Amino acid sequence: MAKINGIEGMSYSQLAGEVQTGGKFVVFEYCISVLIMTFKRGLAIYYIKPGESALAKGLPYTLLSLIVGWWGIPWGFIYTPMALITNFGGGKNVTTEVMASLRRAAQSPPG
């Protein structure tokens, strides 16, 4: 599994409790364009604690897309708004998948 930002030192049971009260795992997207090449990616997983702003955590990716996402023809004009919509919506919610993976890891014997 990819590195998850924001869960350092937390146990699975602590995370499960926080997810029950509104915590979530999200991936923010960014778009970078260079003339005829455009890249739209979402790499890092972020844990958003209950009551914490997802928009603030996604701001660097949003700004990157706003500045360098538009310049690719034609995909920059297509992928940049898609990334912005995802980020302004709080990121792509991957909580179900991450919690399932963390549960499996917590249940497997150390080895």
C-alpha to C-alpha distance for 66 and 30, rounded to whole angstroms: 9
Q: What pLDDT is attached to residue 111? A: 58
Q: How confident is the model at residue 1 (pLDDT cuts 50, 70, 90)?
A: low
- Tens digits of per-residue pLDDT, 7-27? 999 999 999 999 999 999 999
What is the rounded average pLDDT of the residues 37-52?
A: 93
Q: Which residue has the tokens 């499996």?
A: 104
- Tens digits of per-residue pLDDT, 54-107? 999 999 999 999 999 999 989 999 999 999 999 999 999 999 999 999 999 888
Q: Give the SS3 label for residue 25.
A: strand
